[in-house]
A and B are shown apart, each in its own frame.
Chain A
């Protein structure tokens, strides 16, 4: 009775993505191991005005939330459109990946991804202007994310994109 029919019962929303944190202290294998056990999620495409309270309300729908860390602009120390959500159990975090990822918060489709675990310093944007990298070279006008991107032409960064 042990056969699982792998061909059919996928759980693709829970798979780890291609993104790897370039600042992670350790090798790829270690990072992937942590991602596969993690109870922490990165949440992106938030509005700058989305509050911790809103995040808490939404993400509590998949289980008890242990901690939320709102991402901040490194210079201004204001919210810059991402956060981390940590659950007490992996199972609760998996439910968030299955049912909250790709739905709306504050009218925006948010994206969740596994995170290897919060460490001090990771709550700051890594873009040159202080916010997230994606807002450096974004070309559209997004009033909930500070308007136009910073678009510093010298700021060409190769990432796997967020």
Chain B
């Protein structure tokens, strides 16, 4: 059994593989990886002496392990951007000692850059280019060749018929490297650099920014404008240039080695042409720079760098890189954030909190799962119990103050974060500080926020707990006690239709009646919708649904599991009763009526009804937009249900698509096998032909299934968008004709919920743009609503 790992096969060319004890080379390689990865971490020796020592070790190992060292070095350049300058210094030292290594490293980096661009790994490509540019500072790469690469990048802005996000990226990658290398490049090639910056300025002036409003966390310009990312970066680079490229924040270990490094021979970057645009290229989406703090917010200690200072950019970049590297390990992540080099010169806690909320509120979606940020903030509070909780409280207070202009999607995330966070700290909060919300209309953002937070807090605890934690003055905002509303109970009016039947059904269920028996019992329920009884009573009968479902839910009200069992047991009855679209809508209405004080129960039951195919996704969408739900239309739980429904639909389509792809792969394998085995005995050939036939049939069936599922998916989005358009247009027309300001609280919620559909499901929706534009988002639409669509289109233009 060969113990050679597949990575060794490429070594075979450069050196003969010495068959000593086979474990030794692997151990050494792991050790090399460990040494390289860990340099720069907390140590008793200085960083400089560690780098010096490591360079010596690696130089000695180059004859035998060059390939491995090259690969590890390329990997850390790509995966550990927060330690950029540590590794560029290391490469610089190695290059000074071994010119060939430097050349091969640069070549390997260029290869890696090409691969990342081809694979749509744009953030990693940024790190690679930044690394290359810092290598200019380490005398590994000649400045003019770096400028030439930047010139090639910026010339992408001259390409025609490309998506804006493509040229955006190439401009971004140049600008975002300048904090590191601007000084050096200007010293060597100022004329070219000026020309470059002028070109960039021209591009930035003419690029369109329709997408910006959709991505802003707050609509207000004060206190901190939510700037488009390229605009902000440009302002930062302009300021840096004005300061003659003096940049003092970045840790630059190579400065200590200047005498050694400047003796090294430099390499020229090979001419690099950006790969041409292709249809499967997926460029990063634009974003807006999130700012919530400035120098007035940190009371004592170091001052926060200004919003257009390049230091601010570098700090935010590095903190984001740390989170990107360590998000799976929350304790490590917190520790790494808190040990950020240079932390004594900046109000680090404020930066960390700002970056974390910036990611959490990022539109369309955060880089990582929401709950990670909650867990990370808790770890940070544990590590800095004397300072971080106060900053967090200050941030929460600030966000509360600015709820009026905060994007609804971001408010959702804030509600989820805050309630979950409180549940880890005994729900302690100075609610009285927020007493101002009590005098406002309950639909206004502040009282609404508090109400939704308390709702979520209750879900994580219980009703009495919430009553206990808030001052009595807050009672109007406390959620309802989540008890059910059984209409056929003891207090029911004796003339209520179906009352007697409900008792009969209830007894039948308690006596373990089967589905058939229940259906027979239900046959006697009169249909209030019909005059003649001779259709066999199988059509839509709302009273049947009410009697049965109310009674069933009442008997199973004790817990989720009880209700799930009940739905499963009487699946057949429910399926029969909800055969029509009206039936499906009605079952949701009855469910809502019964559990209207328990939104969590409504959510889980709707989920179950969809998964067991008693209702379909379109029925849920129609129900949410129905007049009966108008009262709850601005409540958070309603949108959670809608988005969960859309996600289920998407997962369903994806699942069948995967099955189809798998079957196709199988078929291809069959073909290949057949070609290899051809010439074998006749019955083997016949068997494989049968298998092929079966597979082909299966693929045809799956193909149909995929098309049908996609049709359902498209229809779901059409229904949702149609209903939005109807509802919002009605409001806009009414306001116009009565001369009332259209910007009501309801309207802000409505239009932002429409936006949210686009943002949260943008990948899928992009597939159906043609249909949407032709059928719904036409030029005849009110421009307020059309603007949302246009902003969405601008995200990937």
Contact = CB atoms under 8 A, between A and B. Distances in A.
A13 B328 contact: yes
B459 A57 contact: yes
Contact-size category for B: 35 or more
Q: Is the interface of B mostly helix, strand, loop or mixed?
A: helix
Contacts of B375: 98-100, 103
A100 B423 CA distance: 12
B370 A61 contact: yes
A7 B37 contact: yes
B561 A52 contact: yes
B371 interface: yes
Nearest to A56: B560
Contacts of B604: 56
Interface stretch (B72-80, B268-276, B539-547, B615-623): B72-80
A8 B80 contact: yes
A122 to B, nearest CB: 15
Given A7-B37, A53-B459, A53-B559, A1 B115 contact: yes
A104 B420 CA distance: 9
B71 A3 contact: yes
Contacts of B328: 9-11, 13-14, 98
A61 B559 contact: no
B329 A61 contact: no
A160 interface: no
A57 B561 contact: no
Interface in B425-472: 426, 456, 459-462
B426 A98 contact: no
Interface in B33-87: 33-34, 37-38, 71-72, 74-76, 79-80
Interface string A97-135: 011100111110000000000000000000000000000
A6 interface: yes
Contacts of B769: none
A3 B423 CA distance: 41
A95 B328 CA distance: 8
A51 interface: yes
B371 A62 contact: yes
B188 to A, nearest CB: 32
A99 B374 contact: yes
A5 B76 contact: yes
Contacts of B684: none
Interface string A44-69: 00000001111011100110100011
A70 B560 CA distance: 11
A12 interface: yes
A1 B112 contact: yes
Most buried by A among B371, B459, B600: B371
Given A57-B600, A99-B375, A5 B329 contact: no
B329 A3 contact: no
B369 interface: yes
A57 B330 contact: no
Contacts of B370: 61
Nearest to A1: B115
A62 B375 CA distance: 11
Interface residues of A, number: 36
B37 A5 contact: yes
Contacts of B710: none
B378 interface: yes
B30 interface: yes
Given A53-B600, A58-B460, A5 B72 contact: yes
Given A62-B371, A105-B460, A5 B75 contact: yes
Contacts of B560: 52-53, 56, 68
Contacts of B396: none
B329 A99 contact: no
A104 B375 CA distance: 10
B325 interface: yes
B168 to A, nearest CB: 25
A52 to B, nearest CB: 5
B423 A7 contact: no
Interface in B367-402: 369-372, 374-375, 378
Nearest to B378: A103
A2 B8 CA distance: 13
B460 A13 contact: no
Contacts of B123: none
A5 B456 CA distance: 40
A106 B462 CA distance: 9
A14 B328 CA distance: 9
Given A5-B33, A5-B37, A99-B371, 16 more contacts: A1-B116, A3-B74, A9-B79, A10-B328, A10-B329, A14-B328, A51-B462, A52-B559, A54-B461, A57-B600, A61-B371, A99-B330, A99-B372, A100-B375, A103-B375, A103-B424
Interface of B: 7, 30, 33-34, 37-38, 71-72, 74-76, 79-80, 112, 115-116, 325, 328-330, 369-372, 374-375, 378, 416, 420, 423-424, 426, 456, 459-462, 559-561, 600-601, 604, 607, 644
14 contacts: A5-B33, A5-B75, A6-B30, A7-B30, A7-B34, A13-B328, A14-B328, A61-B370, A61-B420, A95-B369, A95-B372, A98-B375, A99-B371, A100-B371
7 interchain residue pairs of minimum CB distance: A99-B375, A57-B459, A61-B371, A7-B34, A7-B37, A104-B424, A99-B371
